[in-house]
Structure 1
Amino acid sequence: MFFSKPEDQLDYELTCPICLQLYSDPVVLPCGHNYCLDCICKTTVNIGQNPPRCPECREEYQGLGSLKKNFKLYGIIEGYRATTAHQQRLPNTKHEGMQVFSNQCTDELSLAMKVSLKCEVSPCSGHFQKHFDEESFKTHAVVESVSEMGVKGCNLHQRLFEYLCSNDMTLLCSTCLIEGHHQNHDLLTFSVAEEEIRQSLESRSKVFACRLQMTETLLQKQAEEQGAIEATGDKLFTKAVTLVDNMASLVERYKERLGVLLEEERGQHRKSCQLRLNALEEQQQQLLEAQQSAAEVLNETDTCTFIHRFMLIDQKLREVVEGTSTSIMPLKTPLNTRRLHTGLKIQDFRYEMNRQLHSLQCLLNPLDLTFNVTTSHPSLIVSNDLRTVKYSSTKQPYPDHSERFTSAPQILCTQGLSGGQHVWVVEVGPNSMWSLGVCYKSIPRRGDHSRLGHNSVSWRLQWKNGKLTVCQSSSNVALGEMTNPPLRIEVALDYEAGMLTFHSTKGRREHLHTFRLVFREPVYPAFSIHSCTPESWITLHSDI
């Protein structure tokens, strides 16, 4: 399951599939699945003499005594609980220093230079040296009259702070406590408060580091995506201009119009990409500053100063956590070629320039295909963007479905094509073996006749064991010798004309084969992987 926010994804991963709550005392089964201890115990009630089974994969295990506590998962959950609890619990409180006046000057009002926390004397600069020249006063603890008294000492009672009220985040001295201030509140000693706040701050620092890493990754992907969009635009423009130039004087005005529309579209993409880059850079700067502030506070060794500095930056840190997100995703939409197609008004000269216009139409109207997971064989893994499929030696726990292939490692695309002209590009892994083509939705899903080309409702091109072949209705035909296997294949479908054409486009463009037939139902792009190496994958591309 995919979530747009990493917090939601983490919450989902840490949820027990039985009680749908965060794991409590998690244990791991031999099959690798995790459950709350109480939840898995409940599943063993009334099973008689039968061995218990995992609720998810149904694998048997040797009773509750064989279960082991998942200490790693337990630690992650406790850290997650602490982070979420403190982010909701610790508000920001700011203490300002107060001016303290000397109680030794009787003739005029003077600011105190220091404050003695033992004898509660606040001498000015003139009386300070005289007061502490006395031997009995030399051991008295003194603090700054303005800044430190507001931070370390109680301005009301002139005593050191010793307690923290966690309800309203107020510091208290022992006298405040005796006088009954903050009755019925949750009062913590400094040692306990420091431990809790440090845990919270360390958890937030981890969140900042994670967010920062994600933001930097998004920045890199955004830059790469922007470069790819620019390259695609350049390639599209070059091909389109080449086609249009071949149409002589009739095409000249369309050529100029094409350049204007395409440049406008690319300009919109650049502007959109720049806005996203600016937003990500601003978010990166905020996270860097927050991380630095948290690190500086964590390096503070003095307990009281540490707590005070934490309270000064607490609100800012929470605002950074709440204000930053990973929702600023890189722009992946292709150029709006449909608008270009409309602006060129190609229908005005379609008859005279039919072959050139057909190429231009395929160029400006790419087919956006995605894999249909419900058809995937259990030996195939589909990427999150549904554009790459890979062979896996481990069977995937896909749910049963009437459209799923169960014999041949095959998969179909979601999109069915019932008319028109379409082109799509497929890239395959080097040293892999594969099949690709089209089929009707009525293709069998199990048995030998479910293989592409081995029935009357599918047509495929295949590279296997060093040979390139085509097959339809179980009639297998070997094509010419090839030194290297095709790695990038362009598939062109003309539904009304009944033509399915394959070209190798890696390096020199080379025609591989053309099927000529009559389509009677919508056809679906179909694929199969026959090798089990790490390079056994197939990727769909939307560009030509």
Structure 2
Amino acid sequence: MASADLRDKLDCSICLSTYTYPVTLRCGHNFCRDCIGQVLNTQDEFGVYSCPECREEFREWPVLYIIVRNVVESILCTEPHQEEITGICCTYCIHSPVPAVKSCLMCEASLCDNHLRVHSKSPEHVLTDPSTNLEKRKCSVHKKVLEYYCTEDAACICVSCSLAGEHEGHRVEMLDEASEKKKKKKLRNVLQKLNTRRQETEERVWSLEDHWRKAQEKASGEAARVTALFIDIRRRLDNLEKKVLSEISRQEEQRSLSLSDVIQKLEIKKAELSMKMRHIEELCNMTDPLTVLQDPDTGDLCDPEEGGGDEDTGGHDKTHDVDVDGITGMLHAGGEVTAAGEGGIYGQSPADILLDVNTAHNNIQISEDLKTVTWTGIRQNRPEIDERFQDYPQVISIRRFTSGRHYWDVEIRESLEWRVGMCYPSIARRGQQSVIGDNNKSWGLCGELVYNQYSVIHDSKYTQLRQQISSNRLRICLDYEAGQLSFYELCDPIRHLHTFTATFTEPLHAALYVYGSSIKISGGGCEDALT
């Protein structure tokens, strides 16, 4: 048993409690590991460390020696510690409490080491581990120690119960044997099952923690990707803003120069007219008719120019205004590139644009991958079905679009005449009303190589494009909910050609018309929703 003086020496001088993970400095003084660590941390900023006891200084973080931990643990594990755990004291030590080491079932008393030495050694005095419930270990009828277990009544009994009591003739077992069979074996099985379940739970916890860690890493990566994406979008928008503002400034400067020239010419014209007016007024105020009649300029003055001379000054028309349509096209094209054109914010996947052979006219061929349509003078002899275009070399896609934002690209190969666009499935399959754009069920962009003309068409209304198309690659963009179908030329930079606005009432299919060569679907994607 440790003395009080020795216990006092196991107290940390910093926290004043028994050492926890004790360590020793080079000077020989002992402290709790965490306590001395906190003290040394506060001394970091001074660049020198010192012992809280003797103030010995160390130029570097001192080495902490673990040399007294075993001593502390061995002392704390002695009898006083057991006393704290059991709380059972000797029955006969009345002057001061002394921990009990055994209990006698016969005497119903607990004994310390000293009283155990003088205790009776006779067999009826059964000694057990210290206990406060000694009466429960005796038979309530015969007041004898419970030594047996009745297997028939599942009860603990004494020897008298077995020989002459109510359990006479019953099969009995020793308590240790019965405990092993009846309880401990089952408890071991339960323990094994619980251990298995605990291992499974630990594995599940590890799996969830691993999943959580990976989810955090994925979220961090996605956040970084989105941040980089928005930085790129802002850069693109800044460049687009500079480009559009520069174009507006250029047009404004050009317009200013043009108007300045016109104003200068008009000022000269105004001066000439003022001079003629003054001369005419002078002639009108003369009283001598001969002078008036003989004036050499009278004929010219009486025959003023028609139209005020606007043809000389150019007049004022819309050519001097800012090209609003051009600026809008630049904004539209730039916005399309930023949001959808080249891997934008919504994340794109290839659109499944495949051509429907069942709708193909018999004078066009469809490639095996269902991506290319080619004009041919050889009739394909496909079966005559209601879905097939009968009079014009057209085909539509298998896929139909009922929502979302989508785009698809085409590559036109020296076709004499072509049309690309979208149509309702209810479009006619015979006659002029079946041609893309020549009805109110389709919208198209068409080109005629012979006349070098390009137009957009819907419901038989043609709108000729002001600009020529130099690239053979085009993009068709659909925003179903917004009711917009746009066409772009895939040049550098991408150029907006035209946008149809409508309220779509049916699903839409991609539609192609080709005469003279071929059209290939070269790519596509979708922007389903901002979700």
Q: TM-score range by the shorter chain?
A: 0.3 to 0.5
> Structure 1 length as normaliser, TM-score?
0.34
Structure possessing the higher radius of gyration over alpha carbons: 2
TM-score under structure 2 normalisation?
0.35
